[in-house]
Amino acid sequence: MRFDLRQLGRKGSGTLRDEHVDRTFQAAELQSGAAADEAYRVVAPVHLVMDVHKDAEAYRVSGRVTTRLQLECGRCLEAFEIPVDSPFELRYVPAPIATGSEGDEREVNEEDLTTAYYREESIDLGELMHEQFVLALPMKPLCSDACQGLCPHCGTNLNKGACDCKPVWTDPRLGALEGLLKGNKE
Ligand SMILES: [Zn+2]
Ligand SMILES: [Zn+2]
């Protein structure tokens, strides 16, 4: 799942400097690598459209990725889906040569363009799409703003029905505080 940059900017007359990419990937193709550890699952084909423009040693890539992701609700733990339709604007520069020392990675922002690295004369499209998905994820994934979550006692999904637990829930920190106050009195 890589885009070969060598087809761009060949020396000689009639140099090709721009390339239009329009590809569709099946969800299963994106479930490996970096994406396998993530809090999302790709559940629809991924449509990637982008233009790659060669600019000396760098490549400007602007495009859009659309698909649907499945997430887990932070309150009730049920799966739900969100649509993704993310435009992106990236600048790819050659990856720095590994020196063996850690902590050399730096984030460079120039003209609001996020800088990414390409290796072996190609762009890793799986990584590109993965990064767009991560950016599209909500801070707090919720199946709905009104999600009732789970009962802290019995685990019943309160969106699906009530349980028999008492609605009063004492914050354990308050309990500890009460104990402390009692201790002081005695
Ligand atoms: Zn929920
Ligand atoms: Zn309950």
End-to-end Cα distance, the chain: 70
- Higher per-residue confidence, 87 vs 100: 87
Q: Is 53 helix (H, G, I), strand (E, B) or coil?
A: strand
CA–CA separation, 143 and 174 (whole Å): 30
23-60 in b/e form (b: 16+ CB < 10 A) is eebebebbeeeebeeeebbbeeebebebebebeeebbe
CA–CA separation, 9 and 110 (whole Å): 23
Task: Classify residue 150 by its DSSP letter.
Answer: B
**Closest ligand, as measured to the CA of 152:** 2
**Average pLDDT score over residue span 53-68:** 92
Residue 42 has pLDDT above 80, yes or no: yes
**Average pLDDT score over residue span 91-113:** 64
Q: What is the Å distance from ligand 2's center to 71 Cα?
A: 24
Q: What is the Å distance from ligand 1's center to 136 Cα?
A: 19
Residue 142: is it exposed, middle or buried by C-beta count within 10 angstroms (0-12/13-18/19+)?
middle
Q: Please name the residue ranges forming H helices in the chain.
A: 125-136, 172-185
Length of the chain: 186
CA–CA separation, 104 and 24 (whole Å): 35
- Higher per-residue confidence, 99 vs 4: 4
Q: What is the Å distance from ligand 2's center to 99 Cα?
A: 56
- Please give the share of the chain, as a percent, with pLDDT higher than 70: 74
Residue 105 has pLDDT above 80, yes or no: no
Output the average pLDDT for the chain: 83
**Closest ligand, as measured to the CA of 140:** 1
Q: What is the Å distance from ligand 1's center to 48 Cα?
A: 30
**Average pLDDT score over residue span 63-86:** 96
**Average pLDDT score over residue span 80-92:** 96
pLDDT tens profile 135-155: 999 999 999 999 999 999 999
Q: What is the Å distance from ligand 1's center to 156 Cα?
A: 12
Residue 115: is it exposed, middle or buried by C-beta count within 10 angstroms (0-12/13-18/19+)?
middle
Q: pLDDT confidence of 104, banded at 50, 70, 90?
A: very low
* pLDDT on residue 36: 59
Q: pLDDT confidence of 49, banded at 50, 70, 90?
A: very high
